[in-house]
Each structure stands twice: as C-alpha cells, then as structure tokens.
C-alpha cells in the first residue's frame, strides 16, 4: 500500500480544485452534461479508455493493466434543487430546471462533488502506479442517483455487455461525520425506499354547499392520519419502517371545494417482507378511506421512484474494514448502524452478481462530533449540518478528499494486487 499511496498527498491539491469547480457548477439528475465532460477529460488525461453518454450522461473509464480481477469504483454526479447558504467562496449560484418544469437553485447538498473528486483522485493515483497492481479498473461516474434511476439506466444501456467484467463493486458517500473517519458495515447498510403519488378523487363544488360535494381534502386529511398507524399498529416492534407524507396539494380558492387532492409519500424499510406489508397497508388505507367518504372513484396510486435495499457483501466488507484499520488506524474506522437513507449503488453488483461494498467517509470539523462513532447525535443537536441541508458544505476539503481517495485505493488494492 505504501507504493500505491505514494505521492497522493501532492496530488490532492488538484483534486481539491476539481471538487471546488464541481461544487460551483452543480447539475440536476440526467442533466450532468458539463460535469460529465470535466470528468471524462480527467480520466482520458490519466490514460483511461473513456465512454460518455452511458445511461444518459454517465461516464465510464476503463484502465486495462494486465491479467487479474476487475474492480468497479463508482461515484454519483447529480446535485439537488436547494439554495446554498453563502459560506464558502466556491458557493454555487447555479440554477436548473427541475422535474416540474420550474427553475430552481441547485447545489451539491449531498456531497456528490466530493465523491467525484475522490474517484478521480483514486483513478489518477492507480493509473500513476500501474507497476504496483494488475487487473482492470472501471471508474464509473453515474448520473441521477438522487431519483434512484441512474444506476439502472446505465445497466439498461448495456453496461454489462459494453464494458469489461468486474469482480467487485466499490463505492462511498460523504456523511455528516468527522473528517478522516470511515464507516463500514457488513450486511444491510441502507434502506429500501419507495416514493408514491396518491391522487384522491372527489366531487367539487361551492364551499357554501358542501353537502353537494365529496371533499377530497377531507379524504386526504383522514388518509394522512390513518397512515400514521401503519408503523405504530401494523408493523412488529422488532421491525423498522418509516412512512412519511411529505406533500399535500389541493385546491386554489377559499370558496371552491376541489375535485382532487394529491399526496406524495415516502416509505423506508430494511426487510423485503416488511416492505411488502407496509405497501399493502398503504394501498388498503388509501382505498378504504376514499370508499368510506363516498368518493366517486378509487384513488390513483402511482410509483414515483424507488431504491433497492443496499446490502454489503459481509466477507468483502470485513476485508475492507480490516484494511482500513491497518492503513488508517482503528480509531478512524467504525461499524455504524443501518441507515434509513437510500442508495442505488447496489444495482451494479446485483446486476453483475458480484460482491459490492459501500461505506461512508466523514467530511466535517471533528470538534463538532464528541463521539465519532455516533455522528448523528451532532446532527440532531444542531451542531453539524446533515445531508440535503443548504449548509452541507464540507469543512477542511483537503483532509477529507485525501482520506476518501486513499480509502478507494486501499479497498481496490485488496482485489487488484
């Protein structure tokens, strides 16, 4: 490892500059045109065979370096429709057109800029030390992780047929946690997620004559309250699930009862059987609340997006945790609990039927986190920003990117060497 990591310290200034550039120019899901161009240029300069436009805007760099296993390293590229606070000189002032057609401020509020920069840092480092390993490296820059469709779009675009086979898929995500710390968990790591749009149909009319209407707002309100009983009363206390009604839209005038009301829901689960049970409960409650109110037709229940359960291969995850401990020290490596957040990274390993491992790296001032093994407590206490916050801008970029790049190299070397 000393040979593979030699010179990474000197390389990291350029990696930081790349990260700041990407942070200044965020792009929404499947719109990552500039981002893809910047990353493709860096990979070509490092000696990779580069293919662009994979799954929309995805980029794949391939470095063939003799016989041996194939290793896939993945980073996601898309940003979020969030207005960034003015905290750093490379703050984003970019805007983009969101899925609903409106122009929105855009920022890397989930740290995908650090993922891309660290991937380039690792890819350049491995390319510079080809005499220290043998095999094939795939550097994958994936679009549209935030909506859950980017990884599958790349697979659907013939990823497995167009690019060399790989024996393991590796990825990482920045977390609200102390810089230089790493978090690896064997087995189930991140929840499955299902987002649904429910349209309740009523019969509109004048607000002065409610008896002549079927009020969809009342139906929607009853539905929201009843959905809170799914986890409380229909899921075992031994299981974990989250049901969130995140938006309600109905009506436009104070004296007009509308014809429809729309709810958007998000569901998080850690077990396939629990997932099906929760979704069945939601469908039953939505339909029966409408029927009880005399709705003229059943509600429409449509999927918006979904993320599969992210499960780390246990043996591979333990190997990586041991390697991190040996390389960086036990005080910097932790086994976290499973997270209710979701990721589509696992699609690559599942499609290829190979092990995959995903871990977190910290990116913020360690002084904010009294207990590095429990960083979420600092977020809950308001001492540190969480992912998707307008304040989620890593502090101390170079130490963060150095550790993230070194982590990718360290993990890849377990197979490549």
CB neighbours of 12 closer than 8 A, spacing ≥ 6? 121, 398, 401, 402, 405
Torsion (CA) 375, 380, 381, 382 in degrees, nearest 10: 100
CB neighbours of 120 closer than 8 A, spacing ≥ 6? 15, 18, 39, 42, 43, 139
Are residues 110 and 29 in contact, defined by beta-carbon separation less than 8 angstroms?
no
* Spatial CA neighbour of 349 closest among 149, 64, 71: 71
Are residues 84 and 149 in contact, defined by beta-carbon separation less than 8 angstroms?
no
Dihedral sign of CA atoms 101, 107, 110, 113 in order: positive
Q: Is 78 a catalytic residue?
A: yes
Q: Which of 27, 32, 76, 78 is catalytic?
A: 78
Q: Which of 145, 313, 343, 344 is catalytic?
A: 145
**Burial degree of 340 (CB within 10 A; 0-12, 13-18, 19+):** middle
CA distance 23 to 35: 10
- Ranges of H-type helices in 246-396: 272-292, 314-328, 346-352, 376-380
288 is in an annotated binding site: no
* DSSP string over 151-175: HHHHHHTTHHHHS---SEEEEEEEE
User: How many C-alpha atoms does 345 have within 13 Å on its Cβ side?
Assistant: 31
Q: Which three-class secondary structure state does DSSP give residue 119?
A: helix
Reading the block at residue 234, the tokens are: 């229909």
110 is in an annotated binding site: yes
Are residues 12 and 125 in contact, defined by beta-carbon separation less than 8 angstroms?
no
Per residue in 182-213, is it b (16+ CB within 10 Å) or e — as a string?
Answer: bbbbbebbbbbbbbbebbbbbeebeeeeeeeb
CA distance 40 to 50: 6
CA distance 331 to 5: 20
Enumerate the known binding-site residues for Mn(2+).
Answer: 110, 112, 146, 173
Catalytic residues: 78, 145
């Amino acid at each position: 490892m000393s040979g593979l990591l030699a010179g990474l310290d000197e390389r990291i200034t350029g990696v930081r500059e790349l990260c700041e550039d990407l942070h200044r120019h965020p792009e929404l899901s499947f719109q990552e045109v500039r981002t893809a161009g910047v990353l493709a240029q860096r990979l070509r300069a490092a000696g990779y065979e580069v293919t662009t436009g994979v799954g929309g805007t995805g980029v794949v760099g391939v470095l063939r370096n003799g016989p041996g296993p194939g290793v896939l390293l993945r980073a996601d590229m898309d940003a979020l429709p969030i207005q960034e606070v003015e905290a750093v000189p490379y703050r984003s002032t970019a805007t983009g057109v969101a899925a609903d057609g409106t122009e929105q401020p855009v920022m890397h509020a989930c740290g995908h800029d650090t993922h891309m920069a660290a991937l380039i840092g690792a890819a350049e480092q491995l390319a510079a030390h080809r005499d220290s390993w043998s095999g094939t490296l795939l550097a994958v820059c994936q679009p549209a992780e935030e909506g859950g469709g980017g990884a599958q779009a790349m697979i659907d675009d013939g990823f497995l047929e167009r690019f060399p086979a790989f024996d393991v898929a590796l990825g990482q995500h920045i977390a609200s946690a102390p810089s230089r710390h790493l978090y690896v968990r064997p087995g189930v790591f991140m929840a499955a997620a299902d987002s649904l749009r429910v349209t309740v149909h009523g019969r509109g009319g004048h607000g002065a004559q409610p008896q002549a209407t079927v009020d969809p707002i009342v139906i929607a309100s009853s539905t929201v309250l009843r959905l809170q009983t799914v986890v409380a009363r229909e899921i075992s206390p031994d299981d974990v699930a989250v049901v969130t009604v995140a938006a309600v839209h109905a009506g436009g005038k104070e004296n007009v009862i509308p014809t429809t009301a729309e709810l958007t829901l998000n569901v998080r689960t850690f077990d396939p059987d629990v997932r099906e049970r929760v979704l069945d409960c939601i469908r039953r409650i939505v339909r029966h609340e409408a029927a009880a109110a005399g709705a003229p037709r059943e509600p429409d229940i449509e999927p918006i997006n979904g993320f599969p359960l992210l499960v780390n291969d246990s043996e591979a995850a333990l190997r990586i945790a041991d390697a991190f401990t040996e390389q960086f020290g036990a005080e910097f490596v932790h086994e976290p609990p499973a997270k209710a957040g979701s990721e589509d990274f696992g699609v690559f390993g599942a499609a290829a039927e190979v092990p995959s491992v995903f871990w977190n790296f910290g990116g913020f001032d360690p002084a904010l986190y009294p207990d590095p093994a429990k960083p979420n407590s600092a977020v809950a206490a308001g001492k540190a920003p969480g992912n998707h916050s307008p304040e989620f801008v890593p502090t101390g970029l170079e130490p963060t990117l150095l550790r993230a790049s070194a982590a990718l190299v360290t993990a890849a070397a377990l197979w490549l060497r």
